[in-house]
Amino acid sequence: MESKQSNIEADQLKQLVALAKTGDIQHRRLIVITLWTAGLSVTAIAREIGVSRGFIYKWINRNKTTGLKTLPRSGRPKKPVNKAFENSVNEAAKEQGVHPTTLYRALKSHG
């Protein structure tokens, strides 16, 4: 991995990259910030972690503006599920021999 005077030993670097590849998104962001702070280039981090440079810049800029407190960000809230409707769709799909998702899509396309 190329670096600009990295402060991280090669073994530590390998461990961090392995953690970033297997960890959840919060751990990946934290490791990206750690690698960047240690002097690794954005291109090298993106290549090793397996994400785009745009993601690396996004995480770095977010860290610059609000710090690490923004790491545990949630995504879009889930829509509430009508359990009775879900159960009836699952039963109908089972009777028809199709996957419930197929039936949901068919119902959605018909309004």
pLDDT in tens, 36-64: 888 889 998 888 888 899 989 998 998 88
Residue 75 within any structural domain of the chain: no
Burial readout 14-53 (b: 16 or more C-beta within 10 A, e: otherwise)? eebbeebeeeeeeebbbbbbebbebebbbebbbebbebee
40 touches 5 (CB < 8 A):
no
- How high does pLDDT run on average in the chain? 79
Residue 107 within any structural domain of the chain: yes
Q: How far is the C-alpha of 67 from the C-alpha of 52, rounded, in Å? A: 21
Residue 1 within any structural domain of the chain: no
Residues spanned by the domain of 94: 80-111
Residue 3 within any structural domain of the chain: no
Both 63 and 101 in one domain: the answer is: no
Residue 5 within any structural domain of the chain: no
Both 20 and 65 in one domain: the answer is: yes
Both 28 and 63 in one domain: the answer is: yes
Q: How far is the C-alpha of 53 from the C-alpha of 68, rounded, in Å? A: 19
Both 20 and 59 in one domain: the answer is: yes
Entry pTM: 0.50
Exposure of 16 in the CB half-sphere (CA atoms within 13 A): 19
CA distance readout (Å), 3 to 6, 17, 36, 38: 6, 14, 9, 9
Q: What is the pLDDT of residue 97?
A: 92
User: How many degrees, rounded to 5, is the angle at CA 73 between CA 69 and CA 77?
Assistant: 150
User: Domain tally for the chain?
Assistant: 2
Both 17 and 65 in one domain: the answer is: yes
Residue 2 within any structural domain of the chain: no
